[in-house]
Homo-oligomer: A and B are copies of this chain.
Amino acid sequence: MDIPTYEDMLAAHERIKPYIRRTEVRTSAYLNELTGADLFFKCENFQEPGAFKVRGACNAVFGLSEAEAKRGVATHSSGNHASCLSYAAMRRGIPCNVVMPRTAPQAKKDTVRRYGGVITECEPSTTSREATFAEVQDATGGDFVHPYNDPRVIAGQGTCSKEFMEQTGGLDMVVAPIGGGGMISGTCLTLATLAPETQVIAAEPEQADDAYRSFKAGYIIADDAPTTVADGLLVPLKERTWHFVSNHVSEIYTASEQEIVDAMKLIWKHLRIVMEPSSAVPMACVLKNPEAFKSKRVGLIVTGGNVDLDRLPWMTS
Contact = CB atoms under 8 A, between A and B. Distances in A.
Interface of A: 24, 26, 28-30, 45-46, 48, 50, 114, 265, 268-269, 271-275, 305, 309-310, 312, 314-315
B274 A272 contact: yes
A269 B309 contact: yes
B26 A46 contact: yes
A239 to B, nearest CB: 33
Given A29-B48, A46-B26, A48-B28, A272 B272 contact: no
Given A273-B274, A274-B273, A274-B274, A268 B46 contact: no
A309 B272 contact: no
B46 A30 contact: no
A309 B273 CA distance: 12
Contacts of A265: 309
A272 B305 contact: yes
A274 B302 CA distance: 15
A272 B269 contact: no
Nearest to A269: B309
B24 A48 contact: no
A86 to B, nearest CB: 13
Nearest to A33: B114
Contacts of A28: 48
